Amino acid sequence: MQIKLLPLIVAAALSGCSLAPDYQQPSSSSEQQGWSETAGKQDMETALPNWRSFMADKHLQMLVETALKNNKDLKQTILDVASLKAQYRVQDAARYPGLDASGSFARTRTSDAYTGAGKVYSNKDLATVGITSYELDLFGRVKSLSDQALESYLASDETRRSAVISLVAQVASAYMTLITNQELLELSQDTVKAYQKTLNLVETRYKAGYSDALTLAQSKTALHSARATVAQYKLAVAQEKNTLRQLVGAPVKWKGQDRLPTEDGKMLSELKVGSNSKLILHRPDILAAEHTLKSENANIGAARAAFFPSISLTANAGTMSSSMSNLFSSDSGYWTFAPSLSLPIFDWGSNSANLDAAKIEKQSSIIAYQEAIETGFKEVSDALVGQEYYMEEWKAQKANLQANEDYYKLAQMRYQKGNDSYIDLLDAQRSLFSARESELSAHLNLLTSRIDLFKALGGGWTAADQEKSTSVKEAMKTIED
């Protein structure tokens, strides 16, 4: 009967009950709504492409691929995930008994002065296989700690996916901002040339007596102001290059020849979003918040189990002999079996406080999960509205730019014929520069809102997983090197 008792105890421990509360996914009012009143009303399923399909520009694709391999923040995030995975493996291993083997040899000499019978030599040879301090998980404490570690690891992996999506969006935004600033720099440089040409004409007319000093001063003022604008955009281009270089994690080959496309869809695909907002629950940051909530839920189980007895087993079996030759003889075997019981009696409220803290942490995680949903809902709604209205703005700014180009040509022609003053020409030049600047800014806002929408919807949820194996290998290679 005693021989059958140990397997039954071990089986009971491995299938111990859990004191963790049954997990229920918290509800949120946002996921029951549509995205917004002005956008996302299509009665269709939202199918997000991966980033390679979404970003049609080949240079941009190359930059993103390089960033996914070299970005230091992403590598650090991946290593954090690997660390938590290892910690989970350590914690999960505590659920099962570990088997240790050991062997020892000792030879002792006792002095003649002690024994009074001459020198005495003794040997002790020992070979042991056994289980050391294995906790019988009758109340699920160890299982709850394992579940907590697992959920923490899964939360970190969702954070990694979110970091991948964020990096893709950051690189795309930085690249398009750099292109826009480069175009604005060239526009301001062309404006300087136009102002210089006008100043030369005014000076000629002034020397000939056909222009006054006020017109000459105004022409010089416009030129100096345009040169200051050139310096501003030179700084903006240089800083954006540095930003892109940091994101990519490697030198960026930039020739300054890229341009924003004149037609929509040439750089970024338009995203069609259906009215069902429940897909927001697939966002990596929201999944990470839910895994954190599950982790805190499991922690309550561990805190509850601390109120109950803890039973640990130590068992060894092996051979022992005073000589190596008899170590494995039939009569050299021995065994020990030492269970221990620990029962909390009075702890000054420590276990109760730990349980209260675990429950509070769970409630905090519920709020954080619901807040993550609310944040995601707002970001998607903002991006949808932005995509709609920025498109309207861009179309209006393009029409305004065309009107200002016609206005400038007419003003230039009338000034050269002497029909209008220089003030009229200067006003046309400034209006044209402002219109072109506004058109580029509106186009950039449209593209940025499209990137924001792609990111807010989760960035093509499987896209982050496609980068996992390569990124982990690259990050782990850093450790090995």
SS3 337: strand
pLDDT band at 183 (very low <50, low <70, confident <90, very high): very high
Chain segment 51-109, per-residue pLDDT in tens? 888 888 888 889 999 999 899 999 999 899 999 989 988 888 888 787 777 666 676 66
Distances (CA, A) of 64 to 55, 466, 470: 10, 13, 14
The CATH number given to 97-136+310-343 is: 2.20.200.10
Measured CA to CA, the distance from residue 156 to residue 190 in angstroms comes to: 50
Q: Which pLDDT score is estimated for 475? A: 53
Q: Is it the case that residue 442 has pLDDT exceeding 90?
A: yes
Q: Is the dihedral of CA 147, 149, 153, 156 positive or negative?
A: positive
Q: Is it the case that residue 4 has pLDDT exceeding 50?
A: no
Q: Which pLDDT score is estimated for 458? A: 83
Mean pLDDT of 183-212: 86
Chain segment 443-471, per-residue pLDDT in tens? 999 999 999 988 888 875 454 555 554 45
Measured CA to CA, the distance from residue 436 to residue 115 in angstroms comes to: 108
CA 278 vs. chain centroid, Å, equals 21
Q: Is 67 exposed, middle or buried (0-12, 13-18, 19+ CB in 10 A)?
A: buried
Q: Using N-to-C axis directions, what is the helix angle for 141-207 and 58-70, rounded to 10°? A: 140
Q: Which CATH class is domain 17-95+137-307+351-480?
A: mainly alpha
Q: Which pLDDT score is estimated for 137? A: 77
Measured CA to CA, the distance from residue 35 to residue 41 in angstroms comes to: 8
Measured CA to CA, the distance from residue 279 to residue 316 in angstroms comes to: 55
pLDDT band at 334 (very low <50, low <70, confident <90, very high): low
Phi, psi of 132 (to 5 degrees): -115, 120
**DSSP character string of 60-72:** HHHHHHHHHHH-H
Chain segment 339-393, per-residue pLDDT in tens? 777 878 877 888 889 889 999 999 999 999 999 988 888 888 888 888 889 999 9
pLDDT cut 70: percent of the chain above it: 77
Count CB atoms within 10 A of the CB of residue 366: 17
User: Which residues of the chain form CATH 1.20.1600.10?
Assistant: 17-95+137-307+351-480
pLDDT band at 231 (very low <50, low <70, confident <90, very high): very high
SS3 477: helix
Q: Which pLDDT score is estimated for 328? A: 66
Q: Is it the case that residue 316 has pLDDT exceeding 90?
A: no
Place of tokens 């030179």: 234
Chain segment 390-428, per-residue pLDDT in tens? 999 999 999 999 999 999 899 888 877 878 777 788 888
Measured CA to CA, the distance from residue 298 to residue 19 in angstroms comes to: 9
Q: Which pLDDT score is estimated for 306? A: 82
Measured CA to CA, the distance from residue 91 to residue 68 in angstroms comes to: 31
Q: Is the dihedral of CA 357, 360, 366, 371 positive or negative?
A: negative
Q: Is 133 exposed, middle or buried (0-12, 13-18, 19+ CB in 10 A)?
A: exposed
What does the angle CA 380 – CA 386 – CA 387 come to, to the nearest 5 degrees? 90
Range scoring the smallest mean pLDDT among 140-144, 177-181, 188-192: 140-144
- Name the CA dihedral angle for 77, 82, 83, 84, rounded to a multiple of 10 degrees: 90
pLDDT band at 243 (very low <50, low <70, confident <90, very high): very high
Place of tokens 């620990």: 342
Q: Is it the case that residue 172 has pLDDT exceeding 90?
A: yes
pLDDT cut 90: percent of the chain above it: 29
Range scoring the smallest mean pLDDT among 7-21, 32-46, 427-441: 32-46
Q: Which residues contact 390 (CB under 8 A, 6 or more apart)?
A: 442, 445, 446, 449
Q: Which pLDDT score is estimated for 27? A: 76
Average pLDDT for the chain = 80
CB 390 within 8 A of CB 446: yes
User: Which residues of the chain form CATH 2.20.200.10?
Assistant: 97-136+310-343
Whole-prediction pTM value?
0.80
| Residue type present at position 323 | S
Mean pLDDT of 305-323: 75
Q: Is the dihedral of CA 157, 162, 165, 169 positive or negative?
A: negative
Q: Is it the case that residue 327 has pLDDT exceeding 80?
A: no
H-state helical runs in 324-421: 350-416
Q: Which pLDDT score is estimated for 399? A: 95
pLDDT band at 280 (very low <50, low <70, confident <90, very high): confident
Mean pLDDT of 9-17: 52
Range scoring the smallest mean pLDDT among 286-290, 336-340, 380-384: 336-340
Q: Is it the case that residue 136 has pLDDT exceeding 60?
A: yes
Q: Which pLDDT score is estimated for 265? A: 64
Q: Which pLDDT score is estimated for 103? A: 67
**DSSP character string of 76-124:** HHHHHHHHHHHHHHHHHHTTS--EEEEEEEEEEEE-HHHHSSS-EEEEE
Give the β-pairing of 333-337 and 310-321: antiparallel
Q: Which pLDDT score is estimated for 469? A: 47
Q: Which pLDDT score is estimated for 181? A: 93
